[in-house]
Structures are given as structure tokens and as C-alpha cells.
Amino acid sequence: MGVGATIYQERAQAMTNDFDQFVGRQSKLAKWKASITWSALIIIGLLIYELTTQPILGVIVVCSKFGWNDFLLAFLLRRLDPNQPRGRTVSWFCLAFGLLKVVYASVFLAIALSLMLGAPFGPAGFQGILLRCISAWGVALFGYLLITAVVFTGAFYSKQSQLKVWLTSPFPLWHARTRVKGQGRKLENLVDLLIMAALFPLFLGCFSLLPVVGELIEPQPQGNIVFIIVFLVVLWVGILTYLLVKVFLVLKKRFAAPNPFECWDLDVIGNVMIAEIPTARRVRLLLHANQLSQT
């Protein structure tokens, strides 16, 4: 592990130095493209809002930009990775991360717009804000269900190809995964976060069973029954949390690679996918690597 990490660091540094000039030449063009893209999405979002009177739909269109680089990365891995089963498997987890970004951005923006644009006083204004917030959380739940489907699809292909997946996180997570020898940085597997996101709808679905059963047994609880129901809810949450943690650990052991070298080779694609860089830069490096391979 130590020798592999050292070799990776040397090759990754050399590769990054070679690509720095390319990235510098493309930076101005990328800024212009980003400005045009954001402007176009905002205009499309406003048009959708005017045509449908549903602000959440316009918000989703605008926030889709946050996941574009991850969607493009998933597409590039399917095309460029010489190990086709690996590229297909990892692409599903890249797609899930892009969806997670879109969901978070859509919910936060929808709630912020509801608070800023809704009338702050009066029952009608409060009701309008409440309906928009409920709509935003409904979109979040649907997005999480879609993420669950995508992650478990990736897990299916991972099992089929006997491959454990590693995605270097572009931001710090809650714990260290791999410390690169001789470096102060820590590499963390983004697959852990995606598995947790995939299990979240299962937690909500199982949690909702207890209130439904309680409503059927005692529609209007009173007196000591209220304390019993509260106790049962707390107990059920504890049991669910324990069971889902166990499921998370099993899935993590089965599908998440403990270190990047169990997933990626020490080639150009492997160096790009292991490096601690933003997704946009990762995409540019893969595109440039593809251009070099064709010349």
C-alpha cells in the first residue's frame, strides 16, 4: 500500500503538471461557457415557471447545473475506461452523486425563494409558503428514491463484475478513509455517503409504519397512551437506526473499496479518478487525456 501510494503520488503530480497548461488555456473559455449556461438555465427556469405556475419545476431546471459535471463524468467513464465493467459500475455512483447535488440545491433554493417571495404576514401568505416548502420536500423525497434506485443499480453491477468501487471525495466527510503515505491529506471514499443516501428513504418508509399502525389502533390517544406511543416511537427509531447501521456496514464492506488501489489502476484514468480535485477539473483532465490518446 505504501509503495503503491508513493508511485501514485509521483505519477499524479507529473500528470497534473502536464495538464496545468491545458487547464489554464481552457479556463477563460470555461468561464464564458459557464456564464452562458447559467443564463440559459435561468431563462428556461423562468419560462417553465410562467407556463406551469410551479416554481419548483423552474428551480429543478436551474439546479440541474450543479450535477452536470458528475453526469458528464459518468458518461466519460463509460466511454474511456478500458475496463468496461469498472467504467459502467462507477458511472452509476457518479450519476447518484450528481443527483444528490441537484436534490440538495433544489430544496435549499426552493425554500429560500419561498421565504423571500412569499407574503410574510397573513394566513394566505403563510399557507402559500407552507405549500411551497412541502412541494420542495416532496421533490427531495422523489430525488432520494431515484438516488436509491441508481445506487442499488450500481451495486448490482458491482456484484456482477466482482468490483469494489472507489470515488475520491471532493470534500471532507465525517471520517478518514485512507492516509497517503508522506502526505498530510486524507483520501475518503464518497461511496460511503452515497450508500447512506440510498438507505435514507428506507428509514423514512419504515419509520412511517409505526404512526400508521398507531392511528389504526388508537386514532385519538389520550392520557397514559400518549406516553406509551412516544416511548414506542423512540424505541422504533432506535431499532431502525441499529438495523440500518448494520445494513450500511454490510453494503460498505461489499461494495466500497477500502483504498483506491483496489478499484483503479496506476494509469491516466486511475490517477485522475483518485486525485483530490473538483469534479469539473476531473472531467477536463479526462477529456484532455482522450484527446492525447487520439493524436
SS3 label, residue 256: strand
Q: What is the mean pLDDT of residues 285-291?
A: 80
> Which pLDDT does position 94 carry in this prediction?
94
CA 153 to chain centre: 15
Q: Give the single-character DSSP code of 199.
A: H
Q: pLDDT tens across 37-47, in order?
A: 656 656 666 66
CA distance 221 to 230: 11
> Which pLDDT does position 112 carry in this prediction?
74
Please determine, for residue 59, whether its predicted confidence score (pLDDT) is greater than 60. Answer: yes
Q: What is the mean pLDDT of residues 124-138?
A: 67
Q: Are the C-beta atoms of residues 202 and 244 closer than 8 Å to each other?
A: yes
pLDDT, averaged across the chain: 75
CA distance 48 to 50: 5
Residue 266, classified by CB atoms within 10 Å of its CB into exposed (0-12), middle (13-18) or buried (19+), is middle
Q: Domain ranges in the chain? A: 2-191+260-294
Q: pLDDT tens across 202-254, in order?
A: 888 887 776 655 555 555 555 566 677 677 778 888 888 999 999 999 999 99
Between 66 and 218, residue with greater pLDDT: 66
Q: What is the mean pLDDT of residues 1-7?
A: 50
Between 269 and 292, residue with greater pLDDT: 269
C-alpha distance from residue 46 to each of 41, 57, 159 (Å): 9, 9, 43
Please determine, for residue 193, whether its predicted confidence score (pLDDT) is greater than 80. Answer: yes
> Which pLDDT does position 276 carry in this prediction?
82
Please determine, for residue 201, whether its predicted confidence score (pLDDT) is greater than 50. Answer: yes
Confidence of residue 294 (pLDDT cuts 50, 70, 90): low
Confidence of residue 27 (pLDDT cuts 50, 70, 90): very low
Q: For residue 53, what is its C-alpha cell?
A: 405556475
